[in-house]
Amino acid sequence: MANVLQSAFHLEEYERHRSLLFGIAYRMLGSVMDAEDLLQEAFLDFQKHEPGTVRNARGLLSTIVTRRAMDELKSARVRREAYVGPWLPEPLPDPVAQTPDPALQVERDESLSMAFLVLLERLNPVERAVYLLREIFDFDFDEIGAIVEREPANCRKILSRARDAIARDRPRFEPRTGQQQELLQRFLDACASGNLETLLELLASDVRLYSDGGGKAAAALNVLSGPDRVARFFIGVVEKAIKNRLPVETRPTILNGALGITLAEAGPITTALALEFRDGKIADVFLVRNPDKLRHLQRDGMAPGGPISSEH
């Protein structure tokens, strides 16, 4: 009976804080699959603590997850340095239920955006943990110090450095609007028809396209900048699909808090695309084609005909 009650305690506390824990793990690692694996390992670690010794389950679970994520990041950095082409996070579909406060909703969406997660790559594991715990999850410095095993005063200095590193190139984030949905549809129509003039009109003067194939799928090996290069890239992709008679199905969705689409070729999803807008134009395009980073989209039913998971 005692073991049953103990198991119930651990499961209840874990489920109560699971959204927070996944949020920390995903933002730390930029990977849905790795974050889910890490949470499973963290739960096993949590079960080793007797219920009577757990005074703050949220703090303990956050500590376990953050420390595991920092360790994982150290080895991930080596792999990412040898990565073929631009590295992008795994796209996160329909992340979390809408929050009642619109301002908080915008903050959450921005902290999940592809542009923000790419910027986080500038930080070392400790800086990333301190920045996220303070700026996104509102932990106090005493809590953060205990988690990352640093003095609170040192954590303040670490946060200051991290803020400076992020602020230099942090783009202005615009929340989703009906106008953006119209722009997305015009973008898709222009790509399908090969209308270069309309594409150039929709793209910002400083638009950038990040394409992640990881050496396992066709993708641009460098970031493309400027409306002409980006527009011609998409027209070329569509022309190739038509030439090869590939049956492509597009599906609008929400990826990392932003408007996006998934593309399926003869069944499986082969591409996930997220768009970020500024001043009524498409400013950043994030294209994920590495099949290893799309597996969770197939699993969660985002292929044509399947339900979209909103678990996270």
Same domain for 78 and 183: no
Answer with the residue of higher pLDDT: 134 or 167.
134
Judge whether 212 and 288 are in contact, CB under 8 Å: yes
For residue 77, which of 130, 131, 28, 133 has the smallest C-alpha distance? 28
Residue 229 has pLDDT above 90, yes or no: yes
Domain count, the chain: 2
CB 231 within 8 A of CB 199: yes
Q: For 282-308, how does the pLDDT look when each residue is reduced to its tens digit (9 = 90+)?
A: 999 999 999 999 999 986 655 433 332
Per-residue pLDDT at 43 exceeds 80: yes
Residue 2 sits in a domain of what CATH number? 1.10.1740.10
Q: What is the pLDDT of residue 6?
A: 66
At residue 283, the 3 state secondary structure works out as strand
Positive or negative, the CA dihedral 72, 123, 293, 96 is: positive
- Stated pTM of the model: 0.89
Higher pLDDT, 1 or 236: 236
pLDDT at 274 over 60: yes
Q: Which residues constitute the domain of residue 18? A: 1-82
The mean pLDDT of 6-15, rounded to a whole number, is 88
Is 279 contained in some domain?
yes
C-alpha 196/C-alpha 181 separation (Å) is 20
**Other Cβ atoms within 10 Å of 240 Cβ, number:** 11
Residue 191 lies in a domain: yes
